[in-house]
Amino acid sequence: MESLLPKVKNRPLHTFNNYIQQIRFPFFKQLKSGATIDLDFPFITLVGPNGSGKSSTLQALYGCPATYNVAHYWFSTAIDPIEESGGEPYRYIYKYKPRENQTPVEIAQKRVRRQDDPDYWETARPMIRDGMSPMPEPYDDSLSELRNKTRWKKMQKEVVYIDFRAELSAFDKFFYFGTYTRRGSITSKQEFLRKRSGVLKKHIAQISVSNTAKTWHGRTTKKVDTLSETEINWVNKILGKNYVTAKIVEHDLFNNAGYSIIFTQSNSSYSEAVAGSGEISVVHCVVKVLRAAEGSLILLDEPEVSLHPGAQKALRELLFHAILNTSCQVIMSTHSEHFVQGLPNNAIKLFQYEEATSTYSIINNCSAEQAFLRLGSELHGTKRKIYVEDILAKELVIEAVKEIDREILNNIEVIAYPGGADTIINNLLVHFTASESPNNDIVFLDGDMRKSVCTEEIGRFNSELNAERYVLQKTRADIPATEHPNIDQILLSQTGRGGSSFVLPLNGGNADNSAQALEFKLSMLDMYHKKFKFMSIDTPEELVWEVATGDELFNIDAIKDRFSSEAYKQKFRLLSEREYDQNTNSNQIFELQKRFLARRDVNDPLWQQFKESVRLLLAVEEIVSGAIA
């Protein structure tokens, strides 16, 4: 999909109606006094660490237009009172150019204490001490819609606020947070949902015919909203799906007011109970963005939540589409490099901490590389990432690198990827294949995850390991066109995951994308053999257990004899229970494993083989120059 970013770059700001040009903060939350954000690009990304004020900025922007109020999101409670320092009122100022006025105007929003409303915000008179200009004189009656005699009125603009962290379906609200009354056959949440889902299914069918709300024992299914063809196409583009229809159902059948989404494919249908949270968020986002009024202000808080990199890029294209087709102004907070890649510097606003004032200032022009390096992340940084399955594997790699050359640690970052090997393969293989900018990151999996071997390895594997465990490694070049229909099975034999199990970033809609899917899967196959490497032993637990040697304080030989019949993971669990107590936890087990690792025999053949596999891993990616012979 060709990006719309070049067209967005060429869209002049004066072609947008009631465009917010700037927002500044004389005194607002944790932002530095006088912090200013120039909104000089129609697609703005707010980047910074957690707690830096990105969401607060979005909430302030939400409160800029008439009928919207920052107090909808920031309000005082007994536990979290809003207390102004030294009597200084919280306030912010925004600038926009009304169509009816020759020059931009500034409007101040100020929090004012009222007994009947502790969270009252008002449009204030121009505050000269904050650098605002006095109201133009004399008063012009022709501008009565924009101002009164003492101040400018709030601007007219629709706001669409999307917080991806708060997008929970009716099913998830009940399953994770809901309550119910046990009676009859309803003895679990699962039974409750089964019964109520049956009612919901009937209501959906009835409303689709009559278009009127349906009730059941005081519960109501209010409406069924079927997505348009354009909306479905965008959902498919972002998620890499082939949905034929999707319906948003508003109801309270699950003991809470919420929404269910029914997806239909060519031969099946399912609800949000089966779909992932990312799918639910995307559907709501697509609908809200495409139905936004002309010239709306669209605010998004961390839209990368639950979305893989390809989906993030496609979602960004949807927002570009809204900018170009409905003149919307888009501002988002994000921790994802995929939303900032390729943006001009003035589209990236970096929030950074200042120790002197314990507040956050804002850099208005920042490259993507600079922004994420300042955050401790590497968009195109100098460090290469090595992804492993768990913290013990990470510890093993780091110890091996120390023995090879300690200086290498300055150039790499070993990351224990949450979710295990299947999640790593599912997420990172698609990410690496879809990435527009190749990098030197690599995956180092446990040896028991290896499924295939290359021709050069056949002799070693036949002599050292059970050759029946492996198939011959295949790349794109090894697969003739006659075998292309079997690409899913080939991927399964090579990676352990079938092609149908991956969520691919493909063009959506009703158009045939089978050729695109085949091309992507062939590329995935090559990327897998390039990026995914394997330890010389099945599991880290086996290596740590086998290479450890005893001493007078820690009789490892006796320990090994005692647990000789157990699997390696179980050995450490049982030993931890003996060392600590029956309520041992993963942290205690890991500490015990580190004690074993510290007592390793560095000359043990197993350790030497592992260290050699790490050496080869580093050499493949050329992480250091000259350090690896």
Instruction: List the structure tokens of 385.
Output: 């990432």
Q: Rounded to whole angstroms, how far apart are CA atoms 507 and 514?
A: 10
Convert the pLDDT of each residue in 236-284 to its tens digit.
999 888 899 999 999 999 998 888 888 888 777 766 555 555 688 899 9
Does residue 326 carry a pLDDT above 70?
Answer: yes
Amino acid of residue 502: F
Instruction: Please report which helix (H) or strand (E) contains residue 519, including its range.
Output: helix 514-531
Q: Tell me the percentage of the chain whose pLDDT exceeds 90.
A: 49
Residue 7 — pLDDT band, cuts 50, 70, 90?
Answer: very high
Please provide the DSSP assignment of 183-233 as one string: BTTB-SHHHHHHHHHHHHHHHHHHHHHH-S-EEETTEEEEEEEEPPHHHHH
User: Once rounded to an integer, what is the mean pLDDT over residues 27-49?
Assistant: 94
Judge contact between 42 and 332, C-beta under 8 A.
no
Predicted pLDDT of residue 574: 86
Please provide the DSSP assignment of 596-609 as one string: HHHTB-TT-HHHHH
User: Once rounded to an integer, what is the mean pLDDT over residues 202-218?
Assistant: 91
Among 565, 566, 571, CA closest to 545:
571
Non-local (6+) Cβ contacts of 440 within 8 A are 384, 621, 622, 623
Q: Rounded to whole angstroms, how far apart are CA atoms 133 and 140?
A: 17
Predicted pLDDT of residue 325: 97
More confident residue, 133 or 501: 133
Predicted pLDDT of residue 347: 96
- Provide the mean pLDDT of the chain: 85
Convert the pLDDT of each residue in 402-437 to its tens digit.
988 888 888 888 988 877 888 888 878 887 887 655
Amino acid of residue 14: H
Convert the pLDDT of each residue in 279-303 to its tens digit.
888 999 999 999 999 999 999 999 9
Does residue 374 carry a pLDDT above 70?
Answer: no
Q: Tell me the percentage of the chain whose pLDDT exceeds 70.
A: 87
Amino acid of residue 494: Q
**Residue 626 carries which DSSP code?**
S
More confident residue, 370 or 493: 493
Amino acid of residue 210: S
Predicted pLDDT of residue 623: 41
Convert the pLDDT of each residue in 107-134 to its tens digit.
999 998 777 777 889 999 999 999 999 9
| CA angle at 513 for the pair 512 and 519, rounded to the nearest 5° | 145
Does residue 508 carry a pLDDT above 50?
Answer: no
Query: Which residue do the tokens 């490259």 mark?
Result: 367
Residue 621 — pLDDT band, cuts 50, 70, 90?
Answer: very low
Question: Reduced to 3 states, what is the DSSP secondary structure of residue 299?
Answer: strand
More confident residue, 84 or 313: 313
Predicted pLDDT of residue 617: 84
What is the Cα 83 distance to its own chain's centre? 33
Neighbours of 610 (CB within 10 A): 23
Convert the pLDDT of each residue in 446-462 to its tens digit.
999 998 887 666 555 55
Q: Rounded to whole angstroms, how far apart are CA atoms 340 and 604?
A: 48
Q: Rounded to whole angstroms, how far apart are CA atoms 451 and 469?
A: 7
Predicted pLDDT of residue 379: 45
Judge contact between 163 and 298, C-beta under 8 A.
no
List the domains of the chain with CATH numbers.
5-158+294-374 (3.40.50.300), 165-288 (no CATH), 384-534 (no CATH)
Does residue 214 carry a pLDDT above 60?
Answer: yes
Angle between the N-to-C axes of helices 420-434 and 514-531, in degrees from 0 to 180, rounded to the nearest 10:
110
Predicted pLDDT of residue 276: 56
Instruction: List the structure tokens of 419.
Output: 């979710």
Predicted pLDDT of residue 625: 37
Among 387, 473, 482, CA closest to 427:
387
Among 94, 100, 105, CA closest to 141:
100
Residue 94 — pLDDT band, cuts 50, 70, 90?
Answer: very high
Judge contact between 239 and 503, C-beta under 8 A.
yes
The pair phi, psi for residue 168, each rounded to 5°, is: -105, 135
Among 250, 253, 251, 249, CA closest to 263:
249
Does residue 150 carry a pLDDT above 80?
Answer: yes
Please provide the DSSP assignment of 226-295 as one string: EPPHHHHHHHHHHHT---SEEEEEEE-TTSSSEEEEEEE-SS-EE-TTTS-HHHHHHHHHHHHHHTPPTT
Convert the pLDDT of each residue in 562-572 to its tens digit.
888 888 888 88
Predicted pLDDT of residue 464: 47
